[in-house]
Amino acid sequence: MIRFGACAFGLVLLLPAFPALAGDPATAIRLRDQALADPTAYGILESLTSEIGPRPAGSPAAMRARDWAVAKMTALGFTNVHVEAFAKRAWLRDAESAQIVAPTPQPLVVLGLGNSVSTPPQGITAEVVVLKTLDALKAAPDGAFKGKIVVVNQPMTRTQDESGYSAAVAARGAPSEAARTGALAYLTRSISTSTARAPHTGGTRYAGDGPKIPAGALGVPDADMLEHLAAQGPVRIHLNLQSHLVDATAWTISGDVTGSATPDQIVVVGGHIDSWDPGTGAIDDGAGVAISAAAARLIGILPRHPARTIRVVFWGSEETGGSGAAYLEAHKSELGKIVLAGESDLGSDNIYMLEMPEGALDKPQLKELPAILAPLKIMSSKTPARDGGADVEAIHRAGVPVLALHQDASRYFDYHHSADDTLAIVDPVQLRQNVAAWAATLYMVADSDVNFRAGK
Ligand SMILES: [Zn+2]
């Protein structure tokens, strides 16, 4: 019976009803295991963080990062390497400082938030009001803190996924709430799980037509210290935040592993090459650049490329916005060709869960994928992917299906957007686990004919 079964299986392979295109699981397993010993991603990350350093969109370093990316993609063997330019209004940091002036002078460590207006050149000196939660600020009556500097000291919960961050990050976008109460400036406790003194920056925004007041982030210990002192009596601080806006050009860079059978069907994957300025953008998001490029390179050196094209994209302005919308604008006439998209943008620690478009893992072409990823301690979720990353959100809303390989974010918010986002915090073993997961997944997806738009 077994021999008959084997014989019947051999015949089934020849029948047209069998999927026309399905990746060979043995090849995916080989890619996975090869990636676990491949130093390419770490080398890319070392090169980007040490040779370019911080690279905010609109800065001179962003132009050097563009040229680095073109040279790196070409050296890695990608084809159709090109640059897509777009205009943006860029916010760039200038000199910043903060000190307690009374009751006892001592320095504070501060970072302005992206998009913040500047203080007057001489800075602002005022008494602080420290609130334990953002809700306390929202509940304060109009004019309640006239002439004060409002500090919101709401802590962030450490979680494996992004939920701790999602719950806390609204405090970074609240300068208009503080302005409503008559405040002269707004400071938030860093959206961070660390007790390090280095502050964490990030973008802020202003609501409506209300007054715009300067906004910054304090390191966690400094925010706690202000709360402690303010409970004892009036505390006055001096705050000076300077920045400027420029009309700039930003660049998204991409390169292909050209498909061998259906090259017009494209899987888009990547990370964002821009970063905040205090660190060197290693985990946010040099890692995503390195992981996606290293995974696609391994597939590119196979004797036969997968059927579909894999397009590696280094988006050029995620942190201060713009690259996702620019990508949609540049590719809106050919969105139908993009069969699936995803972005690696939550650091470099282990991936623990795969999410695919609805029904994709039930397809015969992909049913082996969970078992290929399982030895990497990656679960395959039954929940369909809803979010493929900030830079693919715009094309996702326009109809492109997305996948997500969720990374362990437990450590990520100790460092992200701070001076400590450097190569020193990257674990090379976990970085390679990411490359292994992406290489195996991309290969199986790209060497298939699954229509991810079909659903169910
Ligand atoms: Zn990022």
> What is the tens place of the pLDDT at every residue in 250-261?
999 999 999 999
Q: What share of the chain in percent tops pLDDT 70?
A: 95
Asked whether the predicted pLDDT for residue 249 surpasses 80, the reply is: yes
Rounded to the nearest angstrom, the distance between the alpha carbon of 319 and the centre of ligand 1 is 6
Asked whether the predicted pLDDT for residue 456 surpasses 50, the reply is: no
Rounded mean pLDDT, 321-345: 98
Asked whether the predicted pLDDT for residue 7 surpasses 50, the reply is: no
Model confidence at 23, pLDDT cuts 50, 70, 90, reads: confident
Model confidence at 239, pLDDT cuts 50, 70, 90, reads: very high
Rounded mean pLDDT, 70-92: 98
For residue 338, the model assigns a pLDDT of: 98
Model confidence at 21, pLDDT cuts 50, 70, 90, reads: confident
For residue 454, the model assigns a pLDDT of: 81
For residue 9, the model assigns a pLDDT of: 40
Rounded mean pLDDT, 150-154: 98
Model confidence at 209, pLDDT cuts 50, 70, 90, reads: confident
For residue 455, the model assigns a pLDDT of: 62
Model confidence at 5, pLDDT cuts 50, 70, 90, reads: very low
Rounded to the nearest angstrom, the distance between the alpha carbon of 52 and the centre of ligand 1 is 17
pLDDT tens digits, 384-415? 999 999 999 999 999 999 999 999 999 999 99
Rounded mean pLDDT, 372-394: 97
Model confidence at 420, pLDDT cuts 50, 70, 90, reads: very high
Distances (CA, A) of 186 to 175, 181, 190, 215, 227: 6, 11, 12, 5, 14
Rounded to the nearest angstrom, the distance between the alpha carbon of 417 and the centre of ligand 1 is 9
Active site residues per annotation:
318
Rounded to the nearest angstrom, the distance between the alpha carbon of 346 and the centre of ligand 1 is 6
Q: What integer best gives the mean pLDDT of the chain?
A: 95
Rounded to the nearest angstrom, the distance between the alpha carbon of 418 and the centre of ligand 1 is 12
Asked whether the predicted pLDDT for residue 440 surpasses 90, the reply is: yes
For residue 17, the model assigns a pLDDT of: 45
In this structure, which residues have their CB less than 5 angstroms from ion ligand 1?
Answer: 284-285, 345
